[in-house]
Homo-oligomer: A and B are copies of this chain.
Amino acid sequence: MANLKATHQKTKRHNRDLVLKTIFARQPISRAEIARITSLTRATVSEIINTFLTEGLVEEVGLGSSIGGKSPILLSLVADSRYLIGLNLAQDKFIGSVVNLLGELKETVEIPISDNDGKQALDTVFQILDQLVAKNWKPVVGIGIATPGLVNTREGVVLNAVNLDWQDLPLAHLIKARYRLPVCVVNDSQANAIGEFVYGGKHEPEGNLVVVNVRHGIGAGILINGQLFQGDGGSAGEIGHVMVQPEGGRLCRCGKRGCLETISSAKAVVQRARELAKDFPHSELAKNPANINLNAVVDAFQHNDTLALLVARDAAKFLGFSLATLVGTLNIEDIVLTGEMSRLGSTWLAQIRESMLEAGLARMVQETRLEIGKLDFRGYILGSSALMLLEDYSLLFLKSEE
């Protein structure tokens, strides 16, 4: 009997999480539609929904359109019934927010970061969390951290984050000990991908998505069957160091030559503009080459400055080639571009698409949708907080289980 009961409990939990996952991705949604998607019986779905209503986790929000017969009642999560905290450890500042179940940022704290000092970086994480926790948004059910560098998400350890001076830091453990909450630590480009997937209008319970984050460096996050795919070593999506110029490429910070980052990143674009300025005396950028930064390049690009157009076009070209390779490898048909470089906007996007179409197998690249992400800095925060949910919806249940 103990056996049967344990099995039954497990099933109930599984079904409950499945229903919640479906509401999370597809809200507002009717009970009938949930039953259809999950293959659970309508009676089971209704029973589960009743517990959600009792918990205050879900609410009835109106009537859907009918296809004959009664209009179905639509259900949504109660936006402010639970909160998560998401934190992004960006290069110049750490920024954390309390987030509700619709991905709205309720409260945000940021602290600038200067020194490359591991102890101070950790203190700053605690400072932000202390402030957010003190604000009295209740209940907070978990904390997610997006960090640069190499992360073991399963163990919650930052293996190596050079800018933060962290090696083998058991970050999840340290935060859990202080705040007594579930904690999740994830690479920032991967977090950003989760954010775009869950809150960027791409949320399908079993969907696939690639999000390529193009900023100082370049990194991607890959969602497969509705879950973050990290690969065996945790670094899936590390496409910034894919070699795109086998001959005569520039030296990369990784020690190799011709990496995608050396031509398509924000850093590369700025560097190349500085170096080439002397050949473009009429360029606005040539006036003070040493002061060229990404803002200047973006401005000049929008004014059709020849130097800015050149470096941006080369950046777009090789990024497009890399996307063609990605599409050939994974055949994932939704790709979102994020990061500072996406400020170059639709012209840049069109050039990337053109190169992707040139380099890829026609029937595959033609079916691929490229777009620019909508969440900017929120992607990291929302993604780090949402990862915990994608992996375990039971976080949201407060009452003890039967």
Contact = CB atoms under 8 A, between A and B. Distances in A.
B7 A329 contact: no
A333 B367 contact: no
B3 A238 contact: no
A331 interface: yes
**Lowest 3 A-B CB distances belong to which pairs?**
A231-B331, A3-B43, A232-B333
Contacts of A208: 231-232
Nearest to A258: B359
Contact of A234 (B3, B15, B331): B331
Contacts of A321: 243, 246
Interface in A326-369: 326, 328-334, 358-364, 367
A282 interface: no
Contacts of A14: 11
B47 A3 contact: yes
A242 interface: yes
5 contacts: A7-B41, A10-B11, A239-B329, A254-B362, A330-B330
Given A254-B361, A359-B256, A238 B328 contact: yes
Interface hub of A238, A332, A367 (most chain B Cβ within 10 A)? A238
Nearest to A3: B43
Contact of A364 (B40, B225, B233, B326): B233
Interface string A215-239: 0000010101100011111111111
Interface string A270-306: 0000000000000000000000000000000000000
A247 B243 CA distance: 14
Main secondary structure of the interface of A (DSSP, over half): mixed
A198 to B, nearest CB: 18
Q: Which of A321, A331, A334 has most chain B Cβ within 10 Å?
A: A331
Given A231-B332, A246-B321, A256-B359, 4 more contacts: A3-B44, A11-B14, A150-B363, A325-B329
Contact of A331 (B233, B360, B367): B233
Listed residue (A41, A230, A358) with the most chain B CB atoms within 10 angstroms of its CB: A41
A36 interface: no
Given A256-B359, A361-B241, A364-B235, A230 B331 contact: yes
A8 interface: yes
Contacts of A47: 3
A324 B243 contact: yes
B233 A333 contact: yes
A73 B377 CA distance: 56
Contacts of A364: 233, 235, 238
A216 to B, nearest CB: 17
